[in-house]
Amino acid sequence: MLEQNHYKEAKAILDAKIEELGLRKTVERYKILEEIYKRNDHFEADELYYVFVERNFSVSKSTVYNTLELLVELGLVKKRQFNGSHAACYEKAFGRKQHSHLICVDCNRVFEFCDPRLQAIQNTISEFYDMSIIDHSLIIYGQCQRENCKKNT
């Protein structure tokens, strides 16, 4: 489901950057942003590209990759490396709360969680090192105990 307010604000940020850089406002860039903001999962660039292929929407793989990098630079998308994979995963970032990840090493399922104690740790570290923390990444790896995990099938 597309979160209209977050998407509209993200689109406005993208518009401003495109104008600043003197780039063209292409349908492809906006379709990529819209698709990302409809999702509530983590995805690889190729996976996003194939969504458009399946819909017969003409976009090149390089446009998907280049647009993703622009969106990461703008803070509209987060780029993550999970489970030692060479492929980067992406997730929408604008308007989302800070969260951490729990990943099953067998089925690669990604669970998001928030724990207020992490904010307390960040505050302590920030104060101790006299540094302003702008982001953090916590990834915990485990094994699903769920019946529908790949390892159990």
Among the ranges 1-15, 16-30, 83-97, which has the highest mean pLDDT value?
A: 16-30
| pLDDT level of residue 83 (50, 70, 90 thresholds) | low
CATH number of 1-95: 1.10.10.10
CATH number of 97-153: 3.30.1490.190
Q: What is the mean pLDDT of residues 5-32?
A: 92
pLDDT of residue 123: 93
Q: What is the mean pLDDT of residues 85-99?
A: 81
* CA–CA separation, 8 and 6 (whole Å): 6
pLDDT of residue 86: 64
| pLDDT level of residue 149 (50, 70, 90 thresholds) | confident
Write down the mean pLDDT value for the chain: 88
With a cut of 70, say whether residue 151 has pLDDT above it.
no
Structure tokens belonging to residue 97: 């709360």
CB 127 within 8 A of CB 92: no
Q: What pLDDT digit, counting tens, does each position of 109-120 carry? A: 888 888 889 889
Q: What pLDDT digit, counting tens, does each position of 36-74 carry? A: 999 988 899 999 999 999 999 999 999 999 999 999 999
- Bridge partners of 142, per DSSP, are 104
Domain boundaries, the chain: 1-95, 97-153
CB 53 within 8 A of CB 10: no
